[in-house]
Amino acid sequence: MSTKGCVFALIAALLSLALPSRAAELVVGQVAPLSGVLASTGQQMVLGAKIYFEHINGKGGIHGAKIRHIVLDDGYKVEETIRLTRQLIDKDKAVALFGYAGTANLTELLKRNIMQDANIALVAPYTGGETLRNPFNPSIFHIRAGYADEAEHMVGQLFTTGVKHIAVYYQNDGFGKAGLAGVENALAKRGLKLAASAPYERNKLDASVAEAVKVIAESKADAVIMVSINVTTAAFVKAYRSAGGTAQLFNISVVDPAELVKLGGLSNLHGLGISQVVPFPYSPTLPVIREYRELFMKYAPKEANISYTSFEEFIGAKVLVEGLRRAGPNPTREKVLRALEGLGAHDIGGFQVNYSRDNRIGSRFVEVTVIGRDGRLLR
């Protein structure tokens, strides 16, 4: 090589050292309930994120780096959530966390300071528990409205139609108690008290469901708001209707109507109201819904169906990708967290989230849908 060639080679080498290297991949870690009582929900959560991450990777990634989406199954068990999160942070070197489920699971993560110590962001957890929102926690970026927002909306809707005798059926943990408190507060705001409340035990289908049916049937409530998951909602509704219960029935947003009908039968489930925290995904009225449906057709398995759950996590994936993009070509956990809080009022194709240094609740959108006589969800 000539002297001139050596000089150019040396300059090129020095420049390559001076410029920041681009990450070969961006590890996004997700712990989800892929087995156990919340398995169908967990699978839809993962799918919603996966179709968007695959779309981004197909376009070349973010600043040239592909997203590696690592998904681990916690079976909806708190200690597994803790163990697997530590694995994602310490072993897999995740730059961000995504889409967990379970108020109790996340409350324990916060209690042990696992995310705070790692200075890592968690985007789009599938829970509206108030303990994760108040007091303010900088690690968690919520996409959805809280259970208190959902309860206020449902109670308000019932109150305007003259229904004031309301009972609650709830999961006996942080999730259920958050929803219960939301209903109690919404009623107190209107000078009312619960007609009855009845719990069932987490991760179980046992005598507590039958006891709950008995308690609520005896209260003669005109409406029942359920803070429960697919399996236990279907079990309660089926038993309550069989016992002659005629109250209007509502459920917090974490259930899937198709799964409910499959488990509890359409004759029992039609007419059930379900609060929702993202727009109606079955009609392409917004740009983000059209994008979701297009990518769902392209990347989702043929047997999969469009759902609120996968759509919610699709929105969450879009938020995280924007944070990763704004964090620059070689993002750290700190840079991602700061980029997310700097999003401000950010439009995602007709659905807006809003974050800042002192706000992590991206949206308070709530509306109620109803399972129709043919099993389809109606607005």
Q: Is residue 4's pLDDT more than 50?
A: no
Looking at the structure, do residues 290 and 141 belong to the same domain, yes or no? yes
Beta pairing class for 140-141 and 166-171 = unpaired
Mean of pLDDT over the chain: 93
CA distances from 220 to 172, 178, 196, 252 (A): 22, 24, 9, 21
* Helix boundaries (H) for 229-331: 230-242, 257-264, 266-269, 287-299, 308-326
Residue 371 lies in a domain: no
Q: Same domain, yes or no, for 173 and 266?
A: yes
134 and 198 belong to one structural domain? no
In a domain, 367, yes or no: no
Reported as a single tens digit per residue, the pLDDT across 196-226 is 999 998 867 677 889 999 999 999 999 999 9
Asked whether the predicted pLDDT for residue 176 surpasses 60, the reply is yes
What is the rounded distance in angstroms from the CA atom of residue 22 to the CA atom of residue 13?
A: 16
The 10s digit of each residue's pLDDT in 85-144 is 999 999 999 999 999 999 999 999 999 999 999 999 999 999 999 999 999 999 999 999
13: in domain: no
pLDDT in tens, 288-332: 999 999 999 999 999 999 999 999 999 999 999 999 999 999 999
Helices 174-188, 103-111: inter-axial angle, 10-degree rounding: 100
CATH number of the domain bearing residue 175: 3.40.50.2300
Question: Do 161 and 266 sit in the same domain of this protein?
Answer: yes
* 223 and 331 housed in the same domain: no
pLDDT digits (tens, 9 = 90+) for 262-280: 999 999 999 999 999 999 9
- Structural domain boundaries, residue 30: 25-146+284-355
Q: Which of 243, 276, 309 is the C-terminal boundary of a domain?
A: 276
State whether 38 and 128 are in the same domain: yes
What residues are paired with 25 via a beta bridge? 66
Residue 190's pLDDT is 97
pLDDT attached to residue 285: 95
Same structural domain, 268 and 163: yes
Which are the contacts of 257, defined by CB distance < 8 A and separation ≥ 6? 269, 272, 274, 369, 371, 375, 377
Sequential DSSP letters for 72-138: EE-TT-HHHHHHHHHHHHHTS--SEEE--B-HHHHHHHHHTTHHHHHT--EE--B---GGGTSS--T
Please give the pLDDT value at position 361. 97
Tell whether 91 and 161 lie within a shared domain.
no
Read off the pLDDT of each residue in 173-177 and give the average, rounded to a whole number: 91
DSSP single-letter state for residue 283: S
- Residue 355 host element (H or E): strand 352-355
How many domains, in total, are found in the chain? 2
Burial class, 71, CB count within 10 angstroms (exposed 0-12 / middle 13-18 / buried 19+): buried
For 189, phi then psi, to 5°, come to -60, -25
If asked whether residues 294 and 184 sit together in one domain, one would say no
Same domain flag for 313 and 228? no
- The answer to the question of residue 11 being in a domain is no
* 87 and 197 share one domain: no
Nearest to 196 by CA among 187, 205, 234: 187
Look at residue 345 in the predicted model and tell me its pLDDT: 97
Structural domain includes residue 2? no
pLDDT in tens, 344-364: 999 999 999 999 999 999 999
